[in-house]
Structure 1
Amino acid sequence: MEIKKELLLEGLHCAGCAAKIENRVGKLKGVNSSIMNFATSTLIIEVEDNLMDRVIEKAKKIIIDLEPDTNVIDKDELREKDNHAHEHNHGECACCEHNEEEYVIKELILEGMHCAGCAAKIEDRVKKLEEVKEAVLNFATSTLTITTGSKDISIVVEKAEKIVVDLEPHTKVIDKEKLSDTGIHNHEDCACGCSSTKELGHTHANVNTNRKRLLKIGAGIGLFVIATLFQGKNFSPFMYLASYLIIGGEILTLSFKNILRGEVFDENFLMSIATIAALSVGEYPEAVMVMFLYQIGEYFQERAVNSSRKSIASLMDIRPDYANLKIGNDIKKVSPNKVNVGDIIIVKPGEKIPIDGEIIEGKSAVDTSALTGESLPRDVAEGENILSGFININGVLTIKVAKSYNESAVSKILDLVQNATAKKAKTEKFITKFARYYTPTVVIAALAIAILPPIIKGEVFAIWIYRAATFLVVSCPCALVISVPLGYFAGIGAASKSGILVKGGNYLEALTDVTTIVFDKTGTLTKGNFKVSEINSKGNMDKEELLKYTAYVESFSNHPIAKSIIKEYKGEIDKANIENYKEITGKGVQAFVNDVKVASGNKKFMEVLGVKYDDVYSSGTVVHTAINNEYAGYIVINDEIKKDSASAIKKLKESGAKKIVMLTGDRKENAEATGKELQIDYVYSELLPNEKVEKIEELYKHKKNKEKLVFVGDGINDAPVLARADVGVAMGGVGSDAAIEAADVVIMNDEPSKLANVIKIAKSTKKIVTQNIAFTLSVKMLVLILSVFGLASMWLAVFADVGVALIAVFNSMRILKHS
């Protein structure tokens, strides 16, 4: 007997290791199948029952050997724990005294965080804290997210803050909850000219720090100029040394502190060793100018990174600043966090809808572009639901709050976008790993350059020490460590502005290799607004009676076809007159209506019942009805194809998709008519939900390993298929929790062509990230080679470091133009 076992690999971050794990486990005796889902960190093993324990033991050993920091958890055991916790919550557990572990998530804003290398170290150290289950530092948004089981969260925050300040002394750690609860920012009181406290990386403390930094650099350059004017005088070297210490003292101090903590190989260390080497061989002006150029480069790099963050943040500037809370006859301006479900809020023209709710008074046009990318306003009126993030254009709206701010659409969307960088693309992971080994390798190579040629060839040490110092300056990998994650975050931001939520850089990268795109039909390529177009009764049955009986028997169904029949009937349905209701999945429904046996469904259902029916050829969906086992007639329901669908298919084929497929539960005639009109390559019809998954599995067998398959559906009924696809795309996801949960990509409106847009953005992102990698490595390698042969000065080396980083950051920002 074959058993399927799922293992959760917590802490698995290496895509290459994941592939090796899948391969090695697959070769174990007794294993019939081994599938590693890297996106969900899940290893699925199909194994013979009698070998299960032995295989699991060996699989765990393979995992730990390849990824020692990975925690292997049996998903069955995890589910048991979840059920156990559920029993606790409902007071049903008698086996213990509420000792289950509850996890708390804390978000900290790291204001002034500009060093990508330090960010990686902070993330790594916080992860290793005993109380911390998971830690993710989103460098693009300067947010550290900590998951902890500790009951005293303040201790964890204190430890994390110490780690941050030790590694980045100028960084200010702010609790995100406290930041959001501070109320409304009064811009009139702000002398710095900021537009919002939401601007990432902006603080008044930062402004003061930068001023002090520039003043210090200015004083150092003043001494440098004096020393240069009096070159050759006895005091000249001391002036140079003083200038060097004023400009680079902070870098030297940080380097020394990091060495004491065991953090040797960072840019502070590289610059310190390189400039000290220059001083040791009498190159005083060179040492000072390297520190000066490095500090200036870092300053502009920080400005560029901050500017980039603000540009990305502005794309999703949908967070409301306040809500107008109605208290009696008064209106009070409060933070959206302070508004409760059931409260009444007022939204004036020009204001953002702060929280999801129902309009109880007023009508207006609303701008939905921030959420959906739609350019045309939408009219809303009393009785309609409205989402946070929309902008009220012309009328005053009174809204009854339906959800708390944290549960509202705008909050969920922002969290998704801002946390998307936690799911890193393979390229990002490669760069992080590359940087970890690259810098120490270069330092060892520089040491060899400084020592070996003088010893072997008997040449002057000073020449080779200078060359080695130049070699060190070039080696800092900041350009890659900053620009690559920033590039993917910009891609996610650009997609968001177009009304497309991408839940991780890994999915954005996967979209660049899409060759097979599978569509659901109803609600995806068609509008899903079914309407009765034809009623044909048989025998003594008239049309009104046929419609009535069919509406009654369909009244318990939530299917859109059933709803369209009920809507067409218009009369009241007394469900007390319906007995023995039964639904046969994929075929139809039957019941007794006032003691009359009624069956309604497709032709397969009529065949099961042994009822002779009319074989109808129609472009619509045909619902046959039998009364007391006698054929009573049929009703035709039509569904209109979206105007956008044809152009979507065309654009997708132009983008490189080799195979466009449609899967539907609709009957063959309807499906083929739709497929022919839209020029879809393959159409599979009359499928049950499980048969859709089987078709997806078949399609997988006919694609190459690197090629990706995308499924596009409604995010609710197609959850199993969305989960199985390489990238699951949900349509019309605004306000749909199920759609946002089920899919990897959520198209916020009903336009299938948005899929072509996000693929275009994904390819542009990959292209620009590749450009950054190629440009950075080629320039660095060239200057490294030139420095070995004494053809590169330290000044050129500084350009190959901070100059290249600046260019790479600005290049990453070109992605935003594709929104």
Structure 2
Amino acid sequence: MGEALEDSKQTYRLQGLSCTNCAAKFEKNIREIQTVNDVQLNFGASKLTVIGEATVEQIEEAGAFDGIKVLPEHQRIEEIKIPFWKKAENKNTMTSLVFLIFGYVSMYSLGDNHLTTILIFALSILIGGFDLFKVGLKNLTKLQFDMKTLMTIAIIGAAIIGEWSEGAVVVFLFALSEALESYSMDKARRSIRSLMEIAPKRAFVRRGDQEMELDVEDILVEDILIIKPGQKLAMDGEVVQGQSSINQAAITGESIPVLKTVGDEVFAGTLNEEGSLEVKVTKRVEDTTISKIIHLVEEAQAERAPSQAFVDKFAKYYTPAIIAIALLIAIVPPLFMGGAWSEWIYRGLAVLVVGCPCALVISTPVAIVTAIGNAAKKGVLIKGGIHLEEAGRLKVIAFDKTGTLTKGTPEVTEIKVFNNMDESEVLGISMAIERFSQHPLASAIIRKAEEKGISLNDYSAEDFQSITGKGARATVKDTMYYIGNPKLFNEMVSLPSSVQEEVKTLQNQGKTVMLLGTKQDIIGLIAVADQVRDSSSKVIRKLLDIGIQKTIMLTGDNQATGQAIGKQVGLSEVKAELLPQDKLETIKSLKEQYGKVAMVGDGVNDAPALSAATVGIAMGGAGTDTAIETADIALMADDLNKLPYTIQLSRRTLGIIMQNITFALGLKLLALILIVPGWLTLWMAIFADMGATLIVVINSLRLIRVKE
């Protein structure tokens, strides 16, 4: 039986989870359910995983103190949006404010100790603080000292010593800041919610001879989706009929629509702009790219960043210390220094209020949640707070060449003719031979011939034979032609010095040269190169401008090609002719020398180097499971321009976290200093605490506005 419980795992979404302290208490309450083995609560994503057995009713009872609603993960929820001012708790806050104002009017006209004044302030306290007292008093009976317990003690204490007006102001400010904090956190979480709403929940499907509208959960692999212009795709799949421009911004962050034709991959959540499409479903709804992104973003927001781990550890010792200080301030001066009990109890209560660690505890998670959500909307998948922080500390960035700095598809750049033939004839003969070859360079020649309108009917090859490592030969129009590298022709004829010079010049430019000829003559040459991405040099320049000390290319290609591309894009250094283990050793060496090093690659051949780097960054995460799984950060659009944005977002996040921690601690320190001369009032204390929390949240929300 125990084993069955251990294997049982349920995931839920939460509504009404208001603060980090409440989350910790909620998690603790669930752990106390006897049939529960473990609990994982993701505050940023409002998500709960229970390992063991617990009913929804039991879990909701554990969160009843905060009004938490529990819903199964995949249950479709129609969220009712209630305006800020119409929420019941916010109406109570405004009613409390009305009585607070009447209380001050009564105080100035009738006096602060008049029964009418006290009753009005008491009504303000009860209406605004009813939910607070309900939880605070319950916690007090269990000796659980969280924020609401400390507030309850402070307000009851204020009433006992006759500070009714102060108590009413504290209740109103606390209720107002709770409402604003809840609103701000909800805004931060909206980045995930908007991701979840990208893909439609239903779609038109053809299954056999029947067409029907189905929920996405009921759609099977191999079903055919029918997508009309202006509709969003509900599932990942492959186009089987039609062509259209697809806006992939939701998945990859690309603003320009991409033309998709038969055989192309398409993703759930993308928008079909023009034509009608038929798409064969290739993945179940839980396996789509958007589902993976949502899952990884939620996991990333749950993972504790180094700064958050420090803050959590600090807060653990900080809260008991504050309670001890408040107790000493309230008791020691009256007992041993002849101080007035009412005055020093008041000061002790002020310490309790100002000492709440709320702003400090929330200083890091809200910034991490906001930054990771912003990045996901821009097509950058960051797999955890630790990777977000590390990206801001990078000193060196190493790049793979093929598919990273270059497009990864070779193109013909030059055609030279050495006899009476013309260019189209050289290209036609070469195409006829290379159509039988599997070499990547062969596809470049065929593409070039097709561009020039040369047909395979004009040139046909017979008796094709591959010459391993050197080239190929075949008979075209009754003549035996050879195509291959210069080494092949050196063995057959003596290359003229003019041809040798031409070959050397092109090779120094980073191009691969193939010669075409017979056993007696060199007819022409074709130069092929992997084209550098248009964005590469601009991105390298931008990285150096924002303070990256060194950019280095690690490639398995030859030295001449590597150096040529390195010079073209403006890299600091090039290391060529490297095997995967050489790349790994280079990354280790760079880490020893500079500390923080990133590796940018395609996530397939560069896996060892990506995992060894401080931050592994994969290109083209959309549609590439390996890239998403291997790397710490995936650039979904296969777009290098996202790299400087990611580093700047990371630096802004680090800066905002530091501002938040400094502000939260600094304001509390200032407030504690004001207690010594007796200048700190209870309402100033609550303003210092709740104001700090609110400012920390609002400061973190600035990360939503970080642009590329």
Q: TM-score range by the shorter chain?
A: 0.7 to 0.9
Q: Distance in 2 between matches of 1:358 and 1:469?
A: 66
Work out which of the residue numbers 566, 575, 591 in structure 2 matches 1:675: 566
Question: How far is the alpha carbon of 1:422 from its aligned partner?
Answer: 2.2
Match of 1:139 in 2: 43
Q: Distance in 2 between matches of 1:397 and 1:480?
A: 52
Work out which of the residue numbers 648, 657, 660 in structure 2 matches 1:772: 660
Match of 2:626 in 1: 738
Match of 2:512 in 1: 622
Work out which of the residue numbers 342, 350, 370 in structure 2 matches 1:462: 342
Match of 1:802 in 2: 690
Work out which of the residue numbers 695, 699, 705 in structure 2 matches 1:811: 699
Match of 1:429 in 2: 309
Deviations 1:579-600 (A, max 9, x none): 9x99xxxxx5999999x9x998
Residues 716 and 738 in structure 1, CA contact (< 8 A), matched pair in contact too = yes
Residues 108 and 174 in structure 1, CA contact (< 8 A), matched pair in contact too = yes
Superposed, 1:477-496 pairs within 5 Å as: 477-496=357-376
Work out which of the residue numbers 693, 717, 721 in structure 1 matches 2:584: 693
Q: 1:221 to 1:769 in 2, by over 3 A?
A: same
Question: How far is the alpha carbon of 1:107 from its aligned partner?
Answer: 2.5
Work out which of the residue numbers 144, 148, 153 in structure 2 matches 1:273: 153
Q: Distance in 2 between matches of 1:465 and 1:102?
A: 50
Question: How far is the alpha carbon of 1:545 from its aligned partner?
Answer: 8.0
Give the secondary-structure state (helix, strand or coil) at the position aligned to 1:340. coil
Match of 1:651 in 2: 542
What is the letter of the counterpart of residue 813 of structure 1? L
Question: How far is the alpha carbon of 1:751 from its aligned partner?
Answer: 2.4
Match of 2:10 in 1: 106
Residues 625 and 631 in structure 1, CA contact (< 8 A), matched pair in contact too = no
What is the letter of the counterpart of residue 63 of structure 2? V
Residues 622 and 634 in structure 1, CA contact (< 8 A), matched pair in contact too = no
Match of 1:753 in 2: 641
Match of 1:197 in 2: none
Give the secondary-structure state (helix, strand or coil) at the position aligned to 1:755. helix
After TM superposition, the structure 1 stretch with the greater mean CA deviation from structure 2, 342-351 or 643-652, is 342-351
After TM superposition, the structure 1 stretch with the greater mean CA deviation from structure 2, 283-292 or 510-519, is 283-292
Residues 224 and 240 in structure 1, CA contact (< 8 A), matched pair in contact too = yes
Work out which of the residue numbers 132, 154, 160 in structure 2 matches 1:251: 132
Deviations 1:31-73 (A, max 9, x none): xxxxxxxxxxxxxxxxxxxxxxxxxxxxxxxxxxxxxxxxxxx
Question: How far is the alpha carbon of 1:783 from its aligned partner?
Answer: 1.1
Deviations 1:394-428 (A, max 9, x none): 33333222211111112112222222112222112
Q: Distance in 1 between matches of 2:188 and 2:429?
A: 66
Give the secondary-structure state (helix, strand or coil) at the position aligned to 1:665. coil
1:783 aligns with 2:671: yes
Work out which of the residue numbers 59, 63, 67 in structure 2 matches 1:165: 63
Match of 1:641 in 2: 532
Question: How far is the alpha carbon of 1:713 from its aligned partner?
Answer: 0.7
Q: 1:315 to 1:411 in 2, by over 3 A?
A: closer
Residues 495 and 502 in structure 1, CA contact (< 8 A), matched pair in contact too = yes
Question: How far is the alpha carbon of 1:240 from its aligned partner?
Answer: 4.8
* Number of residue pairs matched by the alignment: 675
Q: 1:124 to 1:589 in 2, by over 3 A?
A: farther
Q: 1:236 to 1:376 in 2, by over 3 A?
A: closer
Q: Distance in 1 between matches of 2:608 and 2:181?
A: 45
Question: How far is the alpha carbon of 1:384 from its aligned partner?
Answer: 2.9
Q: Distance in 2 between matches of 1:456 and 1:144?
A: 51
Residues 552 and 574 in structure 2, CA contact (< 8 A), matched pair in contact too = yes
Q: Distance in 1 between matches of 2:641 and 2:179?
A: 42
Give the secondary-structure state (helix, strand or coil) at the position aligned to 1:292. helix
Question: How far is the alpha carbon of 1:289 from its aligned partner?
Answer: 2.5
Deviations 1:454-497 (A, max 9, x none): 22212112111100101111111222323421111211122222
Q: Please, what TM-score do these two structures have when normalized by structure 1?
A: 0.73
Match of 2:73 in 1: 176
What is the letter of the counterpart of residue 341 of structure 2? F
Give the secondary-structure state (helix, strand or coil) at the position aligned to 2:403. coil
Residues 203 and 213 in structure 2, CA contact (< 8 A), matched pair in contact too = yes
Question: How far is the alpha carbon of 1:789 from its aligned partner?
Answer: 2.4
Question: How far is the alpha carbon of 1:259 from its aligned partner?
Answer: 4.3
1:210 aligns with 2:89: yes
Residues 122 and 163 in structure 1, CA contact (< 8 A), matched pair in contact too = no
Q: 1:498 to 1:232 in 2, by over 3 A?
A: closer
Question: How far is the alpha carbon of 1:801 from its aligned partner?
Answer: 1.4
Q: Distance in 1 between matches of 2:691 and 2:486?
A: 68
Q: 1:480 to 1:409 in 2, by over 3 A?
A: same
Deviations 1:236-256 (A, max 9, x none): 656655653443343233123
Q: Distance in 1 between matches of 2:332 and 2:141?
A: 28
What is the letter of the counterpart of residue 629 of structure 2? E
Superposed, 1:368-407 pairs within 5 Å as: 368-407=248-287
Match of 1:84 in 2: none
Q: Distance in 1 between matches of 2:86 and 2:211?
A: 36
Give the secondary-structure state (helix, strand or coil) at the position aligned to 1:524. helix
Match of 2:604 in 1: 716
Residues 556 and 576 in structure 2, CA contact (< 8 A), matched pair in contact too = yes
Work out which of the residue numbers 386, 411, 416 in structure 2 matches 1:531: 411
Residues 363 and 395 in structure 1, CA contact (< 8 A), matched pair in contact too = yes
Residues 344 and 399 in structure 1, CA contact (< 8 A), matched pair in contact too = yes
Give the secondary-structure state (helix, strand or coil) at the position aligned to 1:109. strand
Superposed, 1:15-54 pairs within 5 Å as: none
Q: Distance in 1 between matches of 2:223 and 2:258?
A: 24
Give the secondary-structure state (helix, strand or coil) at the position aligned to 1:399. strand
Q: Distance in 2 between matches of 1:471 and 1:546?
A: 85
Give the secondary-structure state (helix, strand or coil) at the position aligned to 1:528. strand
Q: Distance in 2 between matches of 1:776 and 1:644?
A: 41
What is the letter of the counterpart of residue 299 of structure 1? A
Question: How far is the alpha carbon of 1:679 from its aligned partner?
Answer: 1.4
Match of 1:585 in 2: none
Q: Distance in 2 between matches of 1:675 and 1:518?
A: 12
Residues 181 and 693 in structure 2, CA contact (< 8 A), matched pair in contact too = yes
Q: Distance in 2 between matches of 1:156 and 1:624?
A: 69
What is the letter of the counterpart of residue 389 of structure 1? G
Residues 227 and 240 in structure 1, CA contact (< 8 A), matched pair in contact too = no
What is the letter of the counterpart of residue 654 of structure 1? D
1:662 aligns with 2:553: yes
Q: Distance in 1 between matches of 2:489 and 2:138?
A: 81
Q: Distance in 2 between matches of 1:130 and 1:548?
A: 75
Question: How far is the alpha carbon of 1:536 from its aligned partner?
Answer: 9.2
List alignment gaps of at least 5 residues for structure 1.
1-98, 195-201, 583-587
What is the letter of the counterpart of residue 512 of structure 2? V
Work out which of the residue numbers 15, 23, 28 in structure 2 matches 1:119: 23
Q: 1:243 to 1:547 in 2, by over 3 A?
A: closer
Question: How far is the alpha carbon of 1:743 from its aligned partner?
Answer: 0.9
Give the secondary-structure state (helix, strand or coil) at the position aligned to 1:715. coil
Q: 1:330 to 1:454 in 2, by over 3 A?
A: same
Give the secondary-structure state (helix, strand or coil) at the position aligned to 1:494. helix
Residues 199 and 270 in structure 2, CA contact (< 8 A), matched pair in contact too = no
After TM superposition, the structure 1 stretch with the greater mean CA deviation from structure 2, 114-123 or 310-319, is 310-319
Residues 551 and 569 in structure 1, CA contact (< 8 A), matched pair in contact too = no
List alignment gaps of at least 5 residues for structure 2.
419-424, 451-455
Q: Please, what TM-score do these two structures have when normalized by structure 2?
A: 0.83
What is the letter of the counterpart of residue 475 of structure 1? G
